[in-house]
Amino acid sequence: MNKGYFGQWGGAFIPEVLHQTFADLEKAYKAIREDPAFWQEYVDLMGNYSCRPTPLTFAENLSNHLGGARIYIKREDLNHTGAHKANNVMGQGLLVRRMGKKRVIAETGAGQHGVATATMAARFGFDCTIYMGEVDVARQRPNVFWMEKLGATVVPVKDGSRTLKDAINEAFRDWVTNMDNTHYVFGTACGPTPFPEMVSWFQSIVGIEANKQIQEQHGNVPDRVYACVGGGSNAMGIFKGFLEYEAVELVGVEAGGKGLETGEHAARMVGDTASPGVAQGYKTMFLQDDDGQMLETHSIAAGLDYVGVSPILADLGDKGRVRFEAATDEEVLDALTLTMRTEGIIPALESSHAFVQAIKEAPSMSRNQAIIINMSGRGDKDIFTIAHAFDDPSWKEFIIERAEEYKQKSFLT
Ligand SMILES: *Cc1c(COP(=O)(O)O)cnc(C)c1O
């Protein structure tokens, strides 16, 4: 097998000038992999700063309501900053400190990875620049607000479609210029090697904990594990805890958006819209047209709205080790409602995709079977989208009143 490839996927398609930087990163990553003290330092940091180990919650009401398998929820929502992203960024923070670099950059679409990176940079005392498409800056003001307040510089990228892929190009340009003191914090299990493997390794803390917890609570490994798939980092994280158990079925759930037939979705491993391609430094299944131009994607969950997918997951899909499904926006809102009402738990819109598939399948399983849903994050951040989707009249009134208030104030000043 070629270095950095998973089956036919992965690799490192990078500009010549970055070869040394990648070689250094590869070396630093190898060193921490072989150093048990590093992993312990990481576990301690996450325990003291981010609420790890996160609980595995038995969803008794939801299980009873559906009348099938016992449903357990891995609570990544209880991480600092509200999602599994903290695992990856804090891990890379420790690595950056070891490499002696003082500055981090990242690109972000929905802004969640930007907030997580800015948080990490504040904690470690790194200089931080976040690249974000101008369109996304306008759409994601609350996240931009927090990045700036945390001390990061947010650069709106005005090239191309002014979204995520343009931000990625700009981040690479920065890295080429500043590679001596700068590390590029990749946000998911994609990109050139060693990022897919390294990000999955940091996220494997989720699967390691979940394996131990389910054996304690259920007395066995689960029958199925569900995770939503954007770039694939939370899925890889929990799957890694169960990959070696052939009896454990692994299910990745992609964004079905308005339905696969509408073209408005982000399903790469389900349906036949995606095709093999090389972009953003690696080879995977991309949503692209015949000329290799990336297609517009859609999902109610901003974090799943991505054109590529982890090369590791693409390979596990080829091998039949991971089954892929897609959940539509509408199904996501139903699953979210049911979970809130039965358990008092608010999953992020991204995570709700995993709930959709679990809720579909649990009733036909038996009472002594168990499943785990990886709840990658909490839904509070989605209040604007969810309230809008439910067409909540009091929420509308609230927004209009606040806007009026601002208008009057700015008129006076
Ligand atoms: C970013 C995000 C995702 C998608 O990213 P993956 O790399 O696929 O895990 C999923 N859930 C939440 C809550 C997110 O913030």
- Pair (208, 254) in one structural domain: yes
- Residues lining ligand 1, Cβ inside 6 A: 83, 85, 112, 188, 228-235, 303-304, 348, 350-351, 376-377
Q: Evaluate whether 333 touches 355 at the Cβ level (below 8 Å).
A: no
Model pLDDT, residue 304: 94
The residue-averaged pLDDT of 394-404 equals 94
**AA identity, residue 142:** P
- Pair (110, 239) in one structural domain: no
- Pair (354, 330) in one structural domain: yes
Q: pLDDT tens across 276-335, in order?
A: 999 999 999 999 999 999 999 999 999 999 999 999 999 999 999 999 999 999 999 999
Is 392 within a domain?
no
Q: Does position 1 have pLDDT exceeding 60, yes or no?
A: no
Pairing assessment for the beta strands 182-184 and 70-75 based on DSSP bridges: unpaired
- Pair (235, 363) in one structural domain: yes
Centroid of ligand 1 to alpha carbon of 234 (angstroms): 6
Tokens representing 290?
């015949």
Model pLDDT, residue 3: 81
Is 411 within a domain?
no
Say which CATH number the domain at 128 has. Answer: 3.40.50.1100
Is 396 within a domain?
no
Confidence category of residue 162, pLDDT binned at 50, 70, 90: confident
Model pLDDT, residue 25: 97
Nearest CA-CA partner of 314 in 171, 163, 200:
200
Q: Evaluate whether 157 touches 171 at the Cβ level (below 8 Å).
A: no
What residues make up the domain containing 152? 5-47+84-195
Is 407 within a domain?
no
Q: pLDDT tens across 39-48, in order?
A: 999 999 999 9
Minimal-distance CA residue to ligand 1 atom 1: 303
Sequence-distant (6+) residues with CB within 8 A of 90 are 42, 45, 46, 49, 50, 120, 123, 202
Model pLDDT, residue 111: 93
CA distance 295 to 22: 29
- Pair (130, 109) in one structural domain: yes
Count of beta carbons in the 10 Å neighbourhood of residue 30: 11
Is 263 within a domain?
yes
**AA identity, residue 206:** V
Centroid of ligand 1 to alpha carbon of 286 (angstroms): 18
Q: Evaluate whether 376 touches 76 at the Cβ level (below 8 Å).
A: yes
Q: Does position 68 have pLDDT exceeding 70, yes or no?
A: yes
Atom of ligand 1 nearest to the CA of 349: 13
Nearest CA-CA partner of 375 in 27, 164, 74:
74
CA distance 262 to 102: 46
Minimal-distance CA residue to ligand 1 atom 13: 377
- Pair (131, 159) in one structural domain: yes
Q: Evaluate whether 147 touches 114 at the Cβ level (below 8 Å).
A: yes
Minimal-distance CA residue to ligand 1 atom 4: 230
CA distance 386 to 400: 17
Model pLDDT, residue 95: 98
Could you list the active site residues?
Answer: 85, 107, 376
CA distance 54 to 78: 6
Q: Does position 346 have pLDDT exceeding 70, yes or no?
A: yes
Q: pLDDT tens across 189-247, in order?
A: 999 999 999 999 999 999 999 999 999 999 999 999 999 999 999 999 999 999 999 99
- Pair (104, 74) in one structural domain: no
For residue 156, give the H/E element and its range.
Answer: strand 153-157
Is 143 within a domain?
yes
Q: Is 79 helix (H, G, I), strand (E, B) or coil?
A: coil
- Pair (42, 22) in one structural domain: yes
Confidence category of residue 139, pLDDT binned at 50, 70, 90: confident
Centroid of ligand 1 to alpha carbon of 112 (angstroms): 9
- Pair (187, 248) in one structural domain: no
Nearest CA-CA partner of 52 in 80, 81, 85:
80
CA distance 194 to 273: 27
Model pLDDT, residue 308: 96
Minimal-distance CA residue to ligand 1 atom 2: 303
Cα distances (angstroms) measured from residue 413 to each of 110, 139, 406, 407, 409: 32, 26, 11, 10, 6
Model pLDDT, residue 412: 65
Model pLDDT, residue 160: 85
- Pair (320, 358) in one structural domain: yes
- β-partners of residue 6 are 9
* Token pair 């700063």: residue: 49
Percentage of the residues of the chain whose pLDDT score is greater than 70: 99
Model pLDDT, residue 394: 95
Q: Does position 251 have pLDDT exceeding 60, yes or no?
A: yes
Atom of ligand 1 nearest to the CA of 378: 13
Confidence category of residue 410, pLDDT binned at 50, 70, 90: confident
Model pLDDT, residue 356: 98
Centroid of ligand 1 to alpha carbon of 186 (angstroms): 13
CA distance 336 to 355: 8
Q: Does position 413 have pLDDT exceeding 90, yes or no?
A: no
Centroid of ligand 1 to alpha carbon of 235 (angstroms): 9
- β-partners of residue 371 are 71, 224
